[in-house]
């Protein structure tokens, strides 16, 4: 029985790959399960292989655990689809999507055809493994991450902060806010008068009357 050697590579992690030998009369379901025996993933999730070209464009689909839409479209099932029926090229390619809910995408390429199987080997057989597969499901919540609010709270604790001290802060703020507007306005006017005296060396009315007396002039109006 002839063997196919497929190289399976993560689309987003191209430094992680597996080479798998599988019999030509075995099915896509056999290949599907072999891939996830090599990655350590649970394989029981809806997935599909797609006949592909050199640009990894999706063609005919072969599916596993199909939804109703795929059943209605009569998409071939992996458990019934033999690999040999879909090999038309010495370097046949398949685009493979595992777990549609939280997908990983793979490139599956036929590397060689081996004419004779080894009777001492059980197939599918992983003959080469490169890189560690990413975790099947990432952590949704990381308990080691501390929020900024918690960090602020810890900082106050380190400073031996007493919550009652916060009342003093608010009292100071209230005192500032309760300053009468007429007092603050007088301060502004006083500052303006001082600035005028500083600029010219005298106030508005200090020397004008004296100049008028020296010149013998007085206002007629």
* Tokens describing residue 179: 């300053």
The position carrying tokens 């005298």 is 202
- Judge if pTM exceeds 0.85: no
pLDDT in tens, 128-168: 999 999 998 754 333 333 344 444 444 444 455 455 555 55
Nearest to 59 by CA among 92, 29, 13, 102: 92
Q: Tell me how crowded residue 23 is: count the other CB atoms within 10 A of its CB.
A: 19
Q: What does the alpha-carbon distance between residue 42 and residue 8 come to, in Å, rounded to a whole number?
A: 17
Q: What does the alpha-carbon distance between residue 173 and residue 168 come to, in Å, rounded to a whole number?
A: 9
- Structural domains of the chain in order of their starting residue, each with its CATH number: 3-130 (3.10.290.30), 148-203 (no CATH)
Judge whether residue 177 has pLDDT over 70: no
Return the half-sphere exposure (C-beta side, CA atoms, 13 A cut-off) of residue 3.
19
pLDDT bracket for residue 21 (50, 70, 90):
very high
Backbone angles phi, psi at 62, to 5 degrees: -125, 125
SS (H, E, C) the chain: CCEEEEEEEECCCCCCEEEEEEECCCEHHHHHHHHHHHHCCCCCCCEEEEEECCCCCEEEEEEECCCHHHHHCCCCEHHHCEHHHHCCCCCCEEEEEECCCCCEEEEEEEEEEECCCCCCCCCCEEEEEECCCCCCCCCCCCCCCCCHHHHHHHHHHHCCCCCCHHHHHHHHHHHHHCCCHHHHHHHHHHHHHHHHHHHHCCCCCCCHHHHHHHHCCCCCC
Judge whether residue 185 has pLDDT over 90: no
Q: What does the alpha-carbon distance between residue 134 and residue 219 come to, in Å, rounded to a whole number?
A: 97
**What is the percent of the chain with per-residue pLDDT over 70, rounded to a whole number?**
62
pLDDT in tens, 26-65: 999 999 999 999 999 999 999 999 999 999 999 999 999 9
The vertex-192 CA angle with 202 and 188, nearest 5°, equals 150
Q: What does the alpha-carbon distance between residue 36 and residue 98 come to, in Å, rounded to a whole number?
A: 10
58-64 sheet: strands from edge to edge: 58-64, 47-52, 93-98, 104-114, 3-10, 17-23, 125-130
């Amino acid at each position: 029985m002839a063997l196919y050697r497929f190289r399976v590579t993560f689309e987003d992690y191209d430094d992680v790959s597996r080479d798998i030998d599988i019999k030509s009369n075995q099915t896509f379901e056999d290949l599907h399960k072999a891939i996830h025996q090599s990655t350590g993933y649970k394989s029981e999730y809806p997935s599909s292989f797609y006949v592909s070209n050199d640009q990894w464009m999706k063609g005919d689909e072969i599916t596993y655990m199909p939804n109703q839409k795929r059943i209605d479209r009569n998409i071939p099932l992996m458990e019934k689809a033999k690999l040999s029926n879909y090999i038309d090229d010495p370097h046949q390619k398949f685009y493979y999507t595992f777990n549609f809910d939280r997908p990983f995408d793979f490139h599956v390429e036929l590397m060689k055809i081996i004419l004779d199987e080894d009777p001492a080997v059980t197939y599918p057989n992983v003959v080469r493994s490169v890189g560690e597969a990413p975790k099947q499901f990432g952590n949704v919540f990381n308990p080691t991450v501390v929020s900024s609010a918690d960090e602020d709270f810890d900082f106050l604790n380190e400073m031996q902060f007493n919550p009652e001290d916060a009342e003093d802060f608010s009292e100071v703020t209230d005192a500032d806010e309760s300053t009468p507007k007429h007092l603050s306005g007088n301060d502004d006017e006083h500052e303006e008068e001082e600035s005028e005296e500083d600029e010219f060396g005298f106030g508005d009315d200090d020397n004008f009357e004296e100049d008028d007396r020296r010149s013998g002039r007085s206002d007629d109006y």
